[in-house]
Amino acid sequence: MTGVPEKPIDFVIIWVDGNDPKWRKEKDLYDDSNKDGDSTEVRFRSWDNLQYWFRGVEKFAPWVNKIHFVTWGHLPPWLDTTNPKLNVVNHRDYIPPEYLPTFNANTIELNLHRIKGLADQFVFFNDDMFITAPTSPEDFFKDGLPCDTFALDCICFQPDSAGFFNGADLTVINGYFNKKECFRKNRGKWLSPKNGARNIMRTLLLTPWGYFPGFYYQHLPSSFLKETYEQMWERVPDILDATSRDKFRRPGNVNQWLMKFWQLADGRFSVRPDSFGYCYHIKESNFSDLLRDIPSGRHCMMCINDTAQTIDFEKKKESVKEAMQKLLPEKSSFEK
């Protein structure tokens, strides 16, 4: 492990200020015409903890080359935009005009490769994904390959899940890859002990299927090669275009997991231990665990995922901020 990457690694984070009245006014213009889309409050409300994302990056990933901060146009009042590592990216700066305005995270994510100056290796973050312990470049890219945990899995179509997107993504994957051939080429990666016993068992149980039934997804930051995005836009431009034209997320969309799944199916990844990060889907049953684990440094990466089951939102928001403050009390150079 080293502190200097062989090639530059950028971070990309997308953010929306759901309280911005100008943004809400524009969003409301399209809500009625997109009744089948996902414009629910849980997709846009703010946990007001973005400063801890920057603090975590500066403290635990100081080797990052550039941070591309993607926004509708609003900015946190505390953000120092003069920081030399920061590139503020408006949707208009990289998303084709025929897709704008957009309130569809899938559209924002599927076009990231168009960001001017983006490194060939980048890590994509939602604004609920944090670095919470020391990391090295090799945790994200190794030997020129993105790092990931591998396991086959079944798609879950429960309410408020990403099953519809998974299904659309897998339709593309199974149209281009032969699962048995992929297994023969990448057997060592599929069954690597780093994936963990539970994930290896998942893979073994689902190996007899002749097609990819799904991939295990940790809901954590994803490492991408920019060329994967470019390749997908060359292979399935109509599918990516159709999703990008939807103003809000809707069943039938693909998302950036398509690029992730493509890298996994193609064997273009280096195996990373499953224990590297953890996602907390906020519910009553696990909230105390979340508050305990945030300041502990137990995980290098954490996702604090808002859900429709999150009750007492304001109270929970303050509790999460208090826990983050314990871990990261000092301001970063990205704060005024």
Look at residue 334 and tell me if it is in a domain: no
pTM listed for this prediction: 0.93
Range 313-328 average pLDDT: 92
Q: What is the structure's pLDDT at 32?
A: 64
CA distances from 120 to 13, 116, 135, 226 (A): 16, 11, 20, 5
d(CA 255, CA 236): 13
- Residue 198's domain comprises 9-327
Query: Concatenated DSSP letters for 147-191?
Result: EE---B------TTSSHHHHHHHHHHHHHH--HHHHHHHHHHHHT
Look at residue 335 and tell me if it is in a domain: no
Range 79-104 average pLDDT: 98
Look at residue 209 and tell me if it is in a domain: yes
d(CA 74, CA 207): 47
Look at residue 240 and tell me if it is in a domain: yes
Three-class DSSP category at 328 = coil
Look at residue 4 and tell me if it is in a domain: no
d(CA 169, CA 62): 34
**Based on the structure, what is the number of domains in the chain?**
1
Range 203-214 average pLDDT: 95
37: confidence class by pLDDT, cuts 50, 70, 90: very low
Look at residue 222 and tell me if it is in a domain: yes
Six-digit token pair at 259? 């690029």
- pLDDT tens per residue across span 126-142: 999 999 999 999 999 99
Q: What is the structure's pLDDT at 1?
A: 44
Q: What is the structure's pLDDT at 46?
A: 74
Look at residue 1 and tell me if it is in a domain: no
Q: What is the structure's pLDDT at 123?
A: 98
Look at residue 2 and tell me if it is in a domain: no
- pLDDT tens per residue across span 146-164: 999 999 999 877 666 677 8
